[in-house]
Amino acid sequence: MKILLVLNKPNREIPIMESITREILALRPDAEVEIREMCTPEFRRFVFSYRPDVILTFPFTCEGFSRWYYIFKILFGSKILSLRAEGVVDFTSEYNVAWAVGFDRYGKSLVDYELFWGEKLARAVGERLLLTSKISSMERVKAVGYPRLEYYFDHMQEQPTELPARIKQKLACYNRSNTILFITGFHLANYTRQSLFDAKDLDAGNNLDELLEGVELSKQFRSEWSENIVKTASENPNCLIVVKKHPIEKKEDYDVFLDIGNILFVFEDIQMQDIIPYVGVLFHYGSTALVDAYLSKTPSIYVSSARNKQWYSDLGWPSNLKIQVEGVPAAAKDYLNGLIQFEPTPEINKVLKDIFNIEPGKPYIPSQEIAKILLGQEPPQKISYFDKYLWMSVVGTVYHSIAHRLKVFRQKHSVKTRSNQQLN
């Protein structure tokens, strides 16, 4: 059996795909497994030569993404599974749920299984996928857990990833109790009108004004966030303030942190589980990283802005404290004075169960669960030759292939013409 695992954001997904690969080979040593990034010129050529029996890919949320998968399924009979890499949404936001469903168009027989972290999102998104004829039945929807979180459970024997030397050296100078972690996630602030359309997974054609408003509000919140982190560092010179940026944010957005002695700006691509053991409290904006605080028994503080709640909600998850951004320095003082401690609660356990499929006392092996589904013997769904999206995919693929060949030809002809002119 040949299995292809497809990457979207390698810096976050490679460890997950490697974990799934290990489980596949443990269950079936004769399987062939390849991990490839979708957005490379070689990807399609590789798929045509590899001819996979099973493809695990990121979800079809981006307009036009499904086109090539129709071709793969028709030509090779590949079983196609979608791994919902972004497994958390704000259920109070209609746009957020619609974004999780996705804006691509395809028929009910293309995706054989949709894999989610937890039951709550699986139900909410699965029902909409069924309603819009993007899956054939709810039996095609599975809650499997989040492989990255396997680190926190006893059966995992792996050691944390080695941190870069500059980070290790800085952390070694401070106790965990006086190390404070802030995480950022304001990449929406860097979008332009054009890039909102180019993203193809934001439905910019129908939500442009709202998205542009979100861009401006994100810029404001990022500025407020940075100002209050700097103020917190200034008021607590004996503490280490760790600021971890989101993997797709730009380092230069936070240059203000680079010259402050007790701020450690983590711009490298580091997983949360590798940094959380060194810190005493987490300040967040409504991030999935809050689960790392729960599992490592680290207190957390949710920070909002009066102007940004719509875009940076608390997801309905409990934190020790919920404050406005201007209250960050005071909340840091409260933590340092021992007033903020982690306490397990039924509400936290409910989030862990609903969103991540984690239950106390039960083994947590999502990579193995995913491997079992990938290795399942049931055949892929057959795509009807009357599926209009199949023919749209064929026409689109032919068109783009011809356009690409013409572009290459023109480039070569242009280079040849310039060379001849220089010789003359």
Report the half-sphere exposure of 416 (CA within 13 A, side-chain side). 6
Per-residue model confidence (pLDDT) at position 394:
82
Q: Measured between alpha carbons, how far is residue 203 from residues 302, 366, 389 in Å?
A: 28, 31, 19
Per-residue model confidence (pLDDT) at position 53:
97
Angle at alpha carbon of residue 17, lines to 11 and 23, rounded to 5°: 150
Per-residue model confidence (pLDDT) at position 160:
59
Percent pLDDT > 70 in the chain is: 91
Residues in CB range of 149: below 8 A, 6 or more apart: 273, 291, 295, 356, 358, 364, 366
63: alpha, beta or left, given left = phi > 0 and alpha = psi -120 to 50? beta
Give start and end residues of each alpha helix (H) in 236-341: 272-275, 290-295, 328-336
CA–CA separation, 115 and 127 (whole Å): 14
DSSP character for 178?
Answer: G
Residues in CB range of 285: below 8 A, 6 or more apart: 183, 184, 185, 186, 221, 225, 302, 303, 304, 312
pLDDT at 141 over 70: yes
> How far does CA 307 lie from the centroid of its chain?
25
- Give the model's confidence band at 29: pLDDT under 50 very low, under 70 low, under 90 confident, else very high: very high
pLDDT, mean over the chain: 89
**pTM of the entire predicted model:** 0.86
Write down the residue that tokens 């974004």 correspond to. Answer: 99
- Give the model's confidence band at 118: pLDDT under 50 very low, under 70 low, under 90 confident, else very high: very high
User: Are 156 and 281 spatial neighbours (Cβ–Cβ below 8 Å)?
Assistant: no
- Give the model's confidence band at 399: pLDDT under 50 very low, under 70 low, under 90 confident, else very high: low
- Give the model's confidence band at 402: pLDDT under 50 very low, under 70 low, under 90 confident, else very high: low
- Give the model's confidence band at 418: pLDDT under 50 very low, under 70 low, under 90 confident, else very high: low
pLDDT at 419 over 90: no
Domains of the chain: 2-153+365-403 (3.40.50), 165-355 (3.40.50.2000)
SS3 at position 84: coil
User: Are 286 and 313 spatial neighbours (Cβ–Cβ below 8 Å)?
Assistant: yes
- pLDDT tens digits for range 59-73: 988 888 898 999 999
- pLDDT tens digits for range 373-386: 999 999 999 998 88
